[in-house]
Amino acid sequence: MLAELLLVVPAALSKNDYMKISVWDTYVTKKDGAIMHFDILVPDAVKSQDEVCSFGKNYLRTKGQESQSLTASECQFCHIEEATEEMTASIEQRGYHIIEMEGCN
């Protein structure tokens, strides 16, 4: 029984390791002229700004803003942080996570 417990503990501890993520601060002008401000979160291994922008474009499609410009001038690397469980689950599912800041409705 003790041997079984010892085998379970390391596995449980490894699940508590936090994913390091890069946060990309993004501002997009909506069709109505208002500004959308959101963060695109990706694993810190993702270095390609084009890849990050493509994630942002996917998000814009879900908001009916697919024709709006999202380029390097609208999307800038901000910082690296540890992901929450919710962020990690989202990134594992689709490759990125969005935090809506302002004007995203």
Residues 6+ apart with CB under 8 A from 95: 42, 55
Give the tens place of pLDDT for each residue, 5-60.
333 333 333 455 789 999 999 999 999 999 999 999 999 999 999 999 999 999 99
Decide which of 31 and 1 is more confident: 31
What is the number of structural domains in the chain? 1
Give the tens place of pLDDT for each residue, 26-41.
999 999 999 999 999 9
SS3 97: strand
pLDDT, position 62: 97
* Residue 95 in domain: yes
DSSP state of 72: T
Q: Is the Cβ–Cβ distance between 38 and 97 less than 8 Å? A: no
* Residue 62 in domain: yes
Q: Rounded mean pLDDT of 69-87? A: 96
Q: Which domain holds residue 30?
A: 18-102
Strands (E), the chain: 20-29, 35-43, 75-82, 97-102
* Residue 86 in domain: yes
* Residue 73 in domain: yes
* Residue 38 in domain: yes
* Residue 45 in domain: yes
Distinct helix (H) and strand (E) counts, the chain: 3, 4
Q: Rounded mean pLDDT of 87-91? A: 96
pLDDT, position 3: 43
Q: Which residues pair with 82 in a beta bridge?
A: 20
* Residue 66 in domain: yes
**pLDDT of 61 strictly over 50:** yes
Question: Which one-letter amino acid corresponds to residue 76?
Answer: Q
88: domain CATH number?
3.10.510.10
